[in-house]
Amino acid sequence: MEYRKYGDAVYIRMDRGDEIIACVLAVCQKEGIRSATFSGIGGCSEARIQTFLPATRTFETRTLRGMLELASLTGNVITDEQGALHHHTHAVFAYKEGEAHCMAAGHMQAVTVLYTAEIELRPVAGGVIRRQFDPHTGTGFWRFD
């Protein structure tokens, strides 16, 4: 992974074997970024995609492997009361199964780069968005201070 800051944004290039979410969180940690949004594209080898099931308050996870074209990745980073960073990331992948062209999308648990990923990270200016736990869903949502 390599990154550069230009203006208010951070541009991150990831390489084979890098895990996208871990790299985004590592850049935030290193640069002192407490909340941000990010987007990106790339070529991936593995993605753990989750779907939230409200009835059971659990996530169903599906792992995709192979040549996965990361058509769209969007997410955010927020900070909890203890200062820990959390992500909320969604992505869309295009891939082939035999002769069929397929797509899969959802909440991302982890994404491994096959050849490259290009991510634009935009820190929140003028404040910090915090994480607020929601007992009804068992997940966290934005809280504005």
Whether the CA torsion 62, 68, 73, 78 is positive or negative: it is: positive
Q: What is the per-residue pLDDT across 12-46, written as a single tens digit (0 to 9) for each?
A: 999 999 999 999 999 999 999 999 999 999 999 99
Phi, psi (deg, nearest 5) at residue 104: -145, 145
52-68 in b/e form (b: 16+ CB < 10 A) is eeeeeeebeeeebeeeb
What is the structure's pLDDT at 76? 97
Q: Helix or strand or coil: residue 122?
A: strand
Taking the C-alpha atoms of residue 22 and residue 32, their distance in angstroms, rounded to an integer, is 15
**Structure-block tokens of residue 50:** 């989750």
Residues 6+ apart with CB under 8 A from 6: none
Return the H-helix or E-strand segment holding 114.
strand 100-123
- The residue with greater pLDDT, 25 or 140, is 25
Residue 85 identity: L
- The residue with greater pLDDT, 31 or 127, is 31
On whether the CB atoms of residues 139 and 42 are closer than 8 A, the answer is no
Bridge partners of residue 73, in order along the sequence? 40, 91
Return the H-helix or E-strand segment holding 20.
helix 20-31
Q: What is the per-residue pLDDT across 77-95, written as a single tens digit (0 to 9) for each?
A: 999 888 999 999 999 999 9
- Domains of the chain: residue spans and CATH: 2-144 (3.30.1330.80)
Percentage of residues of the chain with pLDDT beyond 70:
100
Name the DSSP class of 19. B
pTM over 0.75: yes
